[in-house]
């Protein structure tokens, strides 16, 4: 798809409106379903349009309709006092029963996310990060600034009370049930290892297909990386449907994608585990820097994915530190 064609822009707008109507968490779960379906098509030797243009692309990727758009729409709905729960931080509530302009804001921010991705991808060094995550964080920050008139780091009153990186013994934490350091290490290690194992298995399927010209190199690189992320998104369904203790499931899509990336560079399951631990600490850092003190949702896993991908790419790409040479491929 041409990024600036009328067809592409109309599809991006449509995805943003639909995502806002569904609400953030349901929309991104649908995105994960599309990604898995598109990956299965690729694994069967089929076309990669559903995966690359819909699931992780402009039509309904996280940077457009399935995540960034409904987060911005929630901020706007709270600003005009039509959010179902009244909280701009609420990513669970569908927004269809609000007003038409809330849905339109979702479409507009999907277009903005699409623009941000393409602009960021053209910036040297910055483009070594995960461009989808960079775009998500960018639109999250802009929505907070536009509609809540709030700085990216949150409310000064909360920072003064708890300290910028403080959590009041995890009482103001994003996903506080997994925030203590022992949980971060254990979950990061285990999920990183599992994600590396999944990437290992998928790589064995896609590489021969790519070498034979059956699927594109882009699809072959995407499937082993994105499937662990999509599985992690599906694991958030209890967060959507449960209440109280039933919601306290691991939130691990940052950990999963970094674990898979660590493996794909090195063929090392150990490195996958270490990358998973890195992801667990980075997403908690993102929460403390941008989420805990704010009144809107700036996504901690997206912050972790953006920073973690940047670090791993600089460490292992040949044009940078090229530490990949220390691993047997």
User: Over 110-141, what HEC string results?
Assistant: HHHHHHHHHHHCCCCCHHHCCHHHHHHHHHHH
pLDDT band, residue 326 (cuts 50/70/90): confident
Whole-number average pLDDT of the chain: 97
pTM for the model: 0.97
Distances in whole angstroms, Cα of residue 229 to Cα of each of 170, 174, 254: 26, 19, 7
pLDDT band, residue 143 (cuts 50/70/90): very high
Please give the Cα distance from 329 to 319 (Å, whole number).
18
- Position 322 scores a pLDDT of 93
Can you spell out the DSSP letters for 226-238? HHHHHHHHHTTHH
Distances in whole angstroms, Cα of residue 271 to Cα of each of 99, 261, 263, 300: 48, 9, 6, 22
- Position 327 scores a pLDDT of 84
Please give the Cα distance from 110 to 47 (Å, whole number).
25
Question: pLDDT tens across 224-240, in order?
Answer: 999 999 999 999 999 99
* CA 324 from centroid of its chain's CA atoms: 25
Half-sphere exposure of 111 (CA within 13 A, CB side): 16
Half-sphere exposure of 262 (CA within 13 A, CB side): 30
Question: pLDDT tens across 269-296, in order?
Answer: 999 999 999 999 999 999 999 999 999 9
Residue 328 has pLDDT above 80, yes or no: no
Query: How crowded is residue 280: how many other Cβ atoms within 10 Å of its Cβ?
Result: 30
Distances in whole angstroms, Cα of residue 217 to Cα of each of 8, 122, 261, 297: 22, 21, 16, 34
Residue 201 has pLDDT above 60, yes or no: yes
- Position 96 scores a pLDDT of 97
Identify the weakest region by mean pLDDT among 52-56, 243-247, 248-252.
243-247
pLDDT band, residue 329 (cuts 50/70/90): low
């Amino acid at each position: 798809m041409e990024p600036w064609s009328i067809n592409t822009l109309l599809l991006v707008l449509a995805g943003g409106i639909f995502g806002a109507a569904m609400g953030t968490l349901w929309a991104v779960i649908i995105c994960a379903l599309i990604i898995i379906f598109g990956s299965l098509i690729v694994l069967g030797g089929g076309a990669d349009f559903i995966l690359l243009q819909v699931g992780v692309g402009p039509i309904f990727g996280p940077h457009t309709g399935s995540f960034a758009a409904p987060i911005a729409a929630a901020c706007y709905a709270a600003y005009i006092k039509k959010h179902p729960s009244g909280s701009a931080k609420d990513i669970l509530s569908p927004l269809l029963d609000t007003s038409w302009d809330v849905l339109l804001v979702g479409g507009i921010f999907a277009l903005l996310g699409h623009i941000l991705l393409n602009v960021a991808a053209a910036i040297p060094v910055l483009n070594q990060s995960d461009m989808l995550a960079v775009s998500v964080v960018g639109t999250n920050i802009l929505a907070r600034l536009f509609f809540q008139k709030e700085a990216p780091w949150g409310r000064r009153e909360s920072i003064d009370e708890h300290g910028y990186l403080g959590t009041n013994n995890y009482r103001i934490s994003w996903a506080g049930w997994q925030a203590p350091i022992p949980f971060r290490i254990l979950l990061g290690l285990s999920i990183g290892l599992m994600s590396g194992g999944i990437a290992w298995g998928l790589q064995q399927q896609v590489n021969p297909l790519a070498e034979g010209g059956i699927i594109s190199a882009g699809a072959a690189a995407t499937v082993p990386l994105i499937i662990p992320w999509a599985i992690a998104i599906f694991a958030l369904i209890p967060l959507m449907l449960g209440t109280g203790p039933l919601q306290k499931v691991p939130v691990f899509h940052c950990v999963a994608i970094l674990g898979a990336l660590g493996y794909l560079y090195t063929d090392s399951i150990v490195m996958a585990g270490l990358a998973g631990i890195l992801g667990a600490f980075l997403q908690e850092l993102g929460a403390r820097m941008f989420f805990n003190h704010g009144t809107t949702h700036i996504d901690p896993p997206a912050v972790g994915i953006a920073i973690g991908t940047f670090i791993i790419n600089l460490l292992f790409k040949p044009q940078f530190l090229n530490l990949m040479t220390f691993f047997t491929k």
